[in-house]
Amino acid sequence: MASSAGSVQRTDVLIGGAGFAGLALAIALRQGLASSFSVTVADPALGRTPKDARASAIVAAARRLFETIGVWQNVEAQPILDMVVTDSRLSDVVRPVFLTFDGDVEPGEPFAHMIENSPLVAALMQKAKDEGVALREAAVADFERARDHVDVTLSDGDTLAARLLVAADGAHSAIRERAGIPTNGFSYGQSAIVTTVAHERDHHGRAEEHFLPAGPFAILPLKRDTAVGHRSSIVWTERAEEAARIVGVSYDAARQRLHRARTELAAKMQELEAAKPRRGAVL
C-alpha cells in the first residue's frame, strides 16, 4: 500500500485517471505483482457516482481482458450478433451495404458487446477497491521528475513520490502534455450527440453504422431494461455547428429531429434488405 514518509507519501505506481484504462491497469498490476507492490489511482471524479452517458462497443479481446481481471462477470452486456455498415447519402437511390459482420470470433463468442460506460466504471472501481488499489479523489495537478521517481502534486495539496506516473486521463491528457509527449491530430469538424432511446421492437443484437456525409450515425443495441424495455444507444454525428444547434433547441424538437433521421434510415434499410442477395455478403 502507499506509505507515508514525513509529509510525502510513496507509491510504486500512480495512475492519473480512473476511466476504463486507468482502473483496468491498476487492477491488473495488483493482481499480477506482489501484494507489497502499491498502486494508487487519482481522479477528481472518483467521489462522484459515474454519470457517463456513453456506451461502448467492447471487442472480444478487450472483453477477455475484463474477464481475466474478474470484472466482466459483474456487468450486464448486450452481445452484438450482427453489424451492418453503409456508406452513402440518404438520398442515393441505392445504398449498398458496405460491410456486414454476422458471426462469432470463436464458436459462441460474439465479436463485440455493447455496454454502458457507467456500470462498467462502477464495477472496475469496486474491483480496484477489493484488490487494495489506493483511490484518491484528486487530480494530478503537477509533477517533477527526480532521479529515480516522480514527485506528483495532487489538487488537494498532497505530494506523492511515485516510481512511475501513468497518464490515463483521457483523450486530451494534460499529464501527457505536461510530460512533453507529442501527438499528431486534426479535427474532423464534427461533434457526436450521444443518447439512449427506448423502442418498441427488439433489436435482436444488431448494430447499424451509417457513414453519412455529415458523419457516422450509429444505432447500437443495449441490454433490455426491465423498466424501460428495448433500448439502443445512438451516436449521431453532425457538423459541429449543426450539432451545437440541435442540442441547443428544446428536448422535443431534438427528439423529433432524431425520429425523422431514424425514420429515413429505417426506410432505406428496408429497401436495402429487400435488394440484398444474401446475408453476410460484402457488396
Ligand X SMILES: Cc1cc2nc3c(=O)[nH]c(=O)nc-3n(C[C@H](O)[C@H](O)[C@H](O)COP(=O)(O)OP(=O)(O)OC[C@H]3O[C@@H](n4cnc5c(N)ncnc54)[C@H](O)[C@@H]3O)c2cc1C
Q: Which is nearer to ligand X, 22 or 110 (CB)?
A: 22
- Residues composing the chain: 283
Name the minimum Å distance from CB 35 to ligand X: 25
Q: Which is nearer to ligand X, 179 or 281 (CB)?
A: 179
Q: Which of 13, 20, 191, 208 binds ligand X (CB under 6 A)?
A: 20
| Interface with ligand X, residue 194, by CB under 6 A | yes
**Cell of residue 124, nine digits:** 472496475
Which stretch, 39-47, 72-80, 81-89, 271-279, contacts ligand X (CB under 6 A)?
39-47
Q: Which of 65, 150, 174, 269 binds ligand X (CB under 6 A)?
A: 174
Rounded Cα distance between 15 and 137, Å, is 12
| Interface with ligand X, residue 193, by CB under 6 A | no
| Interface with ligand X, residue 17, by CB under 6 A | yes
Rounded Cα distance between 87 and 210, Å, is 6
Per CB under 6 A, which of residues 118..157 are in contact with ligand X?
139-140
Rounded Cα distance between 223 and 120, Å, is 13
| Interface with ligand X, residue 235, by CB under 6 A | yes
- DSSP assigned state of 73: G
Q: Which is nearer to ligand X, 35 or 129 (CB)?
A: 129
Q: Which of 60, 99, 192, 261 binds ligand X (CB under 6 A)?
A: 192
Name the minimum Å distance from CB 121 to ligand X: 8
Q: Which is nearer to ligand X, 90 or 194 (CB)?
A: 194
Per CB under 6 A, which of residues 245..274 are in contact with ligand X?
none
φ, ψ for residue 183 (rounded to 5)? -135, 155
Q: Which of 184, 164, 149, 65 is nearest to 113 (CA)?
A: 65
| Interface with ligand X, residue 215, by CB under 6 A | no
3-state helix, strand, coil in the chain (%, to 5): 30, 40, 35
Rounded Cα distance between 157 and 150, Å, is 16
Which stretch, 15-23, 69-77, 156-164, 262-270, contacts ligand X (CB under 6 A)?
15-23
What residue is closest to ligand X based on CB? 19
Whether 10 contacts 160, CB under 8 Å: yes
**First-residue to last-residue Cα distance in the chain:** 56
Q: Which of 79, 170, 205, 216 binds ligand X (CB under 6 A)?
A: 170
Q: DSSP H helical segments within 85-235, as ranges?
A: 117-130, 174-178
**Cell of residue 199, nine digits:** 423502442
Whether 282 contacts 83, CB under 8 Å: no
Residue numbers of the site for ligand X (CB under 6 A)?
A: 16-22, 42-45, 54, 56-57, 139-140, 168-170, 174-175, 192, 194, 235
